[in-house]
Amino acid sequence: MIQLYIPLNFLGVIYREIKQNLIDLEKMFTLMDREREVADAPGAEDLRTHGPVDVRFEHVDFAYEPARPILHDLSFSIPAGKTVAVVGPSGSGKSTLARLLYRFYDVGVSPAQSANTNAPAQPGGHGRILIAGQDIRGVTQSSVRRAIGIVPQDTVLFNDTIAYNIRYGRPEATDAQVEQAARAAHIHELIASLPKGYASMVGERGLKLSGGEKQRVAIARTLLKDPPILIFDEATSALDSRNERDIQAEIQNAARGKTTLVIAHRLSTVVDAHQILVMEHGQIIERGTHMELLLARGRYADMWALQQNAERSEENL
């Protein structure tokens, strides 16, 4: 009993850790499909994603625990093919948006819960999230997750070959397609220089890749999956500035034509977003393009000035 309990408990800890940090959601859901927070409504159909795929949050309230509301009446939309970046202090609720979009949790009382009494009770609130006009509570979770590619902060690689790790985005992809994705993510040259090339083992028991290289593997995986929606959870750990600029360019490349949510920790990466949302205490306190927000001389403009000063003093060191 003890022996059974420890590994299950351990998996639970890892699951919570990964869910919390949005580390590698897709991998986690395959491994632990049984631990579901939300359930499909009986007879739920797949999300339809032909044509333009926009994302809308409408009056979304959310609380992980009933006594502590996190998001309050939050509305925004990402037009099909555009990029919305979210900035704000730690704990303001940025990652929660991504968790809700990926349907880790449901807002409001989902049709699944009212129809299925075995489903776990949800802390939650009101409002809805629509993808291509469809409430994500009313369609199958798996189809929502197929429609979304995530480049997490910290990519967890499988103890397998590098080809396997990239192909995970689309298992039926040919070797040529895997290589094409690796080239686009600028990781092909590194792979080609390894004695075993794409057959090189990576992960804990194989070749150790740097944070930037792992993120490139995640970008290649996402390019291969080619979903209509992308979530980029920007790494908080600083890459060197050249690496950061390169990764940023690759991310912009991957995001071209896709409906993209960027959770940004550095303002330099949001300048080109179609819209920037500034969050504080679970609310959007400002929104606009970089220029609009600078001209508004509000919180974003203050954050920008602070960051510019910090960068200047770093340069003078």
Pairing mode, strands 275-280 and 83-87: parallel
At residue 225, what is the residue type?
Answer: K
By C-alpha distance, which of 138, 102, 127, 140 is closest to 26? 102
Report the DSSP beta bridge partners of residue 63.
69
* Of 29-37, 63-71, 154-162, 283-291: span binding ligand ATP (CB under 6 A): 63-71
Nearest residue (CB) to ligand ATP, 41 versus 119 = 119
Among 31, 61, 64, 180, binds ligand ATP (CB under 6 A): 64
The nearer residue to ligand ATP, 88 or 227, going by C-beta atoms, is 88
CA angle 301, 304, 307 (to 5 degrees): 150
Distance between CA atoms of residues 229 and 222, nearest Å: 10
Task: Choose the stretch contacting ligand ATP; rule: CB under 6 A; options: 23-31, 84-92, 158-166, 221-229.
Answer: 84-92
Query: What whole-number distance in Å separates Cα of residue 118 and Cα of residue 222?
Result: 34
Output the smallest distance, CB 263 to ligand ATP, in A: 6
Window 10-29: residues binding ligand ATP (CB under 6 A): 20
Residues near 62 by Cβ (< 8 Å), separated by ≥ 6?
Answer: 69, 70, 71, 96, 100, 105, 107, 124, 125, 127, 282
Helix (H) or strand (E) holding 142: helix 141-146
Find the binder of ligand ATP among 23, 28, 70, 85 (CB under 6 A).
70
Which one of 18, 83, 87, 93 is in contact with ligand ATP (CB under 6 A)? Answer: 93
Q: Is 90 in the site for ligand ATP (CB under 6 A)?
A: yes
Told to check if 122 binds ligand ATP by CB under 6 A, we report no
Binding segment toward ligand ATP, per CB under 6 A, in 27-35, 86-94, 125-133, 183-191: 86-94
- Which of 65, 204, 240, 315 binds ligand ATP (CB under 6 A)? It is 65
- CB of 233 vs ligand ATP, minimal distance in Å: 8
